Structure 1
């Protein structure tokens, strides 16, 4: 086994943090795109299961698809710029707040499955938001 050389040491000490941020963004984007497509393609079946109309499911699916595509594009950058990442974080916070408000204010007559799904989705968005914020802060 040969000892590590100077060539083995990363020249940019921020590289692991950049990679972590890109990985978190890519995973978040993948989830949004997959669920956005599912919402768009299966809204007729999902709406009654969740206890909401077709339009909210289609709207959520469209938003997830568009936002997911934007986040995926951001994840392809070697060094994702801080401002767009902050927009992703704020969007995640807004999504969680809207999910909580929809349940608290009883915007829809959700089924038990719909209520549980809304909570699970808000939790997963919260986790990605925290991970993105932590990775963004770790870069500097």
Structure 2
């Protein structure tokens, strides 16, 4: 059994990413109006972001469901996560949206979580490659 989050198996990290992505997608779709009201982030942006997350979550779940997740699929997940973080930061810091304090916290918190998942997936993928090369 893993002793820390950084030692979780790649499939588990991908599964966590898929689940959080699906939940966030559903929250953004169903709660776009409420979230917009408390964060000053446009409801349309929140809803469309949520809609985009559902097929992404499905792809992550498919990659995670393989006995050995394909490296190309994992790289696509990691790259997508990095791009999501970059887009989140560009939206906020680039002046494309004008969130209030809670909105800033929302944007930065979700970007930080997605960045952490990308880092964990990258580390687990590297570890899997090293184990395969050694074995």
TM more than 0.5? yes
Residues 33 and 43, structure 2, Cα contact 8 Å, conserved in 1:
yes
In the TM superposition, 1:37-56 aligns within 5 A as 37-56=26-45
Pick from 13, 16, 27 the counterpart of residue 27 of structure 1.
16
Residues 14 and 63, structure 2, Cα contact 8 Å, conserved in 1:
yes
Question: Is residue 2:107 matched to residue 1:127?
Answer: no
Residues 92 and 98, structure 2, Cα contact 8 Å, conserved in 1:
no
Q: Whole-Å Cα distance in 1 between the matches of residues 79 and 65 of structure 2? A: 20
Runs of 4+ aligned structure 1 residues displaced above 4 Å come to none
Please identify the structure whose Cα radius of gyration is greater.
1
Pick from 115, 124, 127 the counterpart of residue 104 of structure 2.
115
CA RMSD of aligned residues (A): 1.1
Unaligned runs of 5+ in 2: 1-7, 130-135
TM-score by length of 1: 0.84
Paired positions, count = 122
